[in-house]
């Protein structure tokens, strides 16, 4: 699927719809909250034991593949010797989100992509988390709000 033209669900064709066909109603705005801490995305060997520090904090995600053990957690918890990409800020989508809801990630990713902002995403059973680099957080919030979403920044 080619991303530059926008995100489309390839299983939902517009085939058979004439030019006078009514468009689907706009999806409701999302409510996001910027979490307090700065996060890191870490890489350990695939056979590494999950360290205790990986499970600490408001958001922690551990994923094991045949190639790596990937950990997303608070940056201040990661030991200096661990390979990491630091400096991520996390926005939580207010949930829970039903599994039948479609397009949630696209409604976040598209305005960020249009603003030239890369992201890292984590999805859970209840909701989605989107991480952007700390230095573009204000731009990300502006882009999401311009797209009609509400973003709460904790003080």
- Structural domain range at position 70: 39-86
| Residues 70 and 95 occupy one common structural domain | no
| Residues 55 and 108 occupy one common structural domain | no
Q: How many domains does the chain have?
A: 2
| Residues 149 and 98 occupy one common structural domain | yes
Any domain includes 23? no
Any domain includes 15? no
| Residues 122 and 67 occupy one common structural domain | no
| Residues 142 and 96 occupy one common structural domain | yes
List the CATH number of the domain containing 120.
Answer: 3.30.2130.10
Any domain includes 103? yes
**At a CB cut-off of 8 Å and minimum separation 6, what does 154 contact?**
33, 34, 35, 36
Residue 147: per-residue pLDDT: 96
Q: Label the pairing between strands 150-153 and 31-44.
A: parallel
pLDDT in tens, 57-90: 999 999 999 999 999 999 999 999 999 999 999 9
Q: Taking Cα atoms as reference points, which of 79, 103, 104, 82 lies closest to residue 93? A: 104
Within a 10 A sphere around the Cβ of 75, how many other Cβ atoms? 18
Average pLDDT over residues 96-106: 89
| Residues 47 and 76 occupy one common structural domain | yes
CA 96/CA 125 separation, integer angstroms: 8
Residue 25 has pLDDT above 60, yes or no: no
DSSP state of 137: H
Residue 101: per-residue pLDDT: 86
Q: Taking Cα atoms as reference points, which of 138, 120, 137 lies closest to residue 129? A: 120
């Amino acid at each position: 699927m080619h991303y530059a033209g926008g995100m489309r669900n390839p299983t939902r064709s517009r085939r058979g719809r004439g030019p006078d066909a009514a468009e689907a109603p706009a999806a409701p705005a999302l409510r996001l909250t910027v979490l307090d801490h700065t996060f890191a995305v870490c890489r350990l060997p695939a056979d590494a034991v999950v360290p205790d520090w990986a499970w600490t904090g408001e958001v922690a995600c551990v994923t094991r593949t045949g190639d790596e053990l990937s950990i997303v957690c608070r940056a201040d918890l990661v030991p200096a010797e661990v390979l990491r990409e630091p400096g991520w800020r996390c926005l939580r989508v207010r949930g829970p989100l039903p599994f039948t809801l479609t397009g949630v990630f696209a409604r976040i990713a598209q305005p960020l992509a249009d603003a030239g902002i890369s992201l890292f995403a984590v999805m859970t059973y209840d909701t989605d988390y989107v991480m952007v680099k700390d230095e573009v957080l204000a731009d990300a919030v502006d882009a999401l709000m311009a797209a009609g979403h509400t973003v709460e920044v904790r003080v």
